[in-house]
């Protein structure tokens, strides 16, 4: 309940600009942790694989930090990367945190190693898989740089049991012609779908030439038409009308309304070198778990100053938290819809 009260406070700040309504303390309820940023794909849309990354968080430290996140009130944990399945101790860590009872634990993966680790995944405390697929076979394999990767991943998904599976796609020029076919496949296999927007401002994407895959206006129209034809179907339940309105303006490079960024109050993220981020990978880190515990980090005045600067949009801008910001802006209508939905058979 505390996280819902904090969201309401953020909504009131958005409408009034009154700092006194903001949460008195930072109470993040979501966290992404990158135990490794090594990757086994060679994606044209990402620069991860071109760099040498060091995994500085030990097994013991990872378990300790996740316990700290739980103590802070984090309810939703996401393992991402790089490719988190390259972290050899991942399932040992998952076993140790099983008793913490997070309401949602997601593995974000390219899916290449699912056929190797499906038994461990099925037996773990993971609740969700987010699998990156950016087109049908020819397009996806070209983007990923892994011949046969699409078929391998789709075959592997048949082995996964008891986990929600969401196909994550970056909206790109490559995807435009494949989206209808991809939707048909996702619907057939009873998976979910969600989208990422192209952006090379986060630290791990700075070397990417984003113009190479940014969709042209006609491709943007094709993408949005495909989504709109399917919106409302069960596999599309994570996509909202406000999200699509934002997406069209963003992809067509139209002027977007500057709104407060609330991500610092709801999210706390950690990379493979222990650096702590206030929910945003564009802004510099604000601490390091190898130097201080998380409670100490978020209680510093500098952390709170960072959050206020994000609210005032004194930052380079990004789309890291646009979904959350849209949720906060439309909070009453979303709550009403949720309440009314509970009464439906």
The pLDDT value recorded for residue 344 is 34
> How do residues 9-28 score in pLDDT, each as one tens digit?
888 888 888 888 898 888 99
CA distance 322 to 251: 13
Q: Which of residues 290 and 242 earns the better pLDDT score? A: 290
Judge whether 182 and 139 are in contact, CB under 8 Å: no
Q: Which domains does the chain show, CATH number per domain?
A: 34-256 (3.20.20.70)
Sheet holding 275-277, edge to edge: 192-196, 164-170, 128-132, 104-109, 76-79, 30-33, 267-270, 275-277, 287-288
Q: Is pLDDT above 80 for 341?
A: no
The pLDDT value recorded for residue 9 is 87
* Residues found in the chain: 345
DSSP bridge pairs for 288? 275
CA distance 141 to 147: 6
Q: pLDDT band for position 333 (50/70/90)? A: low
> How do residues 143-198 score in pLDDT, each as one tens digit?
999 999 999 999 999 999 999 999 999 999 999 999 999 999 999 999 999 999 99
């Amino acid at each position: 309940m505390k996280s819902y009260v904090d969201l309401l406070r953020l909504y009131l700040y958005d409408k009034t600009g009154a700092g006194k309504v903001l949460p008195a303390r930072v109470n993040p309820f979501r966290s992404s942790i990158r135990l490794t940023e090594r990757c086994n794909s060679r994606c044209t849309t990402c620069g991860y694989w071109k760099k040498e990354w060091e995994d500085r968080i030990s097994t013991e430290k990872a378990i300790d930090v996740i316990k700290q996140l739980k103590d802070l009130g984090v309810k939703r944990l996401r393992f991402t990367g790089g490719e988190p399945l390259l972290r050899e101790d991942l399932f040992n860590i998952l076993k140790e945190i099983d008793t913490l009872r997070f309401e949602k634990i997601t593995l974000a993966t390219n899916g290449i190693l699912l056929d190797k680790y499906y038994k461990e995944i099925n037996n773990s405390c993971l609740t969700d898989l987010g699998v990156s697929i950016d087109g049908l076979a020819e397009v996806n394999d070209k983007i990923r740089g892994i011949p046969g990767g699409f078929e391998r991943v789709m075959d592997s998904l048949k082995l996964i049991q008891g986990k929600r599976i969401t196909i994550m796609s970056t909206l790109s020029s490559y995807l435009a012609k494949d989206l209808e076919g991809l939707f048909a496949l996702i619907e057939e296999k009873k998976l979910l779908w969600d989208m990422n927007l192209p952006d090379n401002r986060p630290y791990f994407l700075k070397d990417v030439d984003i113009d190479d895959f940014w969709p042209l206006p006609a491709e943007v129209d094709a993408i949005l038409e495909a989504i709109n034809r399917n919106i409302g179907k069960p596999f599309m339940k994570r996509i909202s009308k406000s999200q699509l309105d934002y997406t069209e303006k963003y992809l067509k490079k139209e002027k977007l309304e500057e709104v407060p960024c609330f991500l610092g109050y709801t999210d706390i993220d950690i990379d493979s070198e222990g650096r702590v981020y206030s929910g945003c990978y564009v802004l510099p880190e604000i601490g390091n778990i190898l130097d201080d515990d998380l409670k100490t980090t978020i209680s510093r005045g500098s952390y709170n100053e960072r959050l206020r600067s994000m609210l005032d949009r004194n930052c380079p801008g990004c789309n890291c938290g646009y979904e959350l910001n849209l949720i906060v802006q439309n909070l009453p209508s979303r709550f009403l819809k949720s309440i009314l939905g509970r009464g439906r058979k």
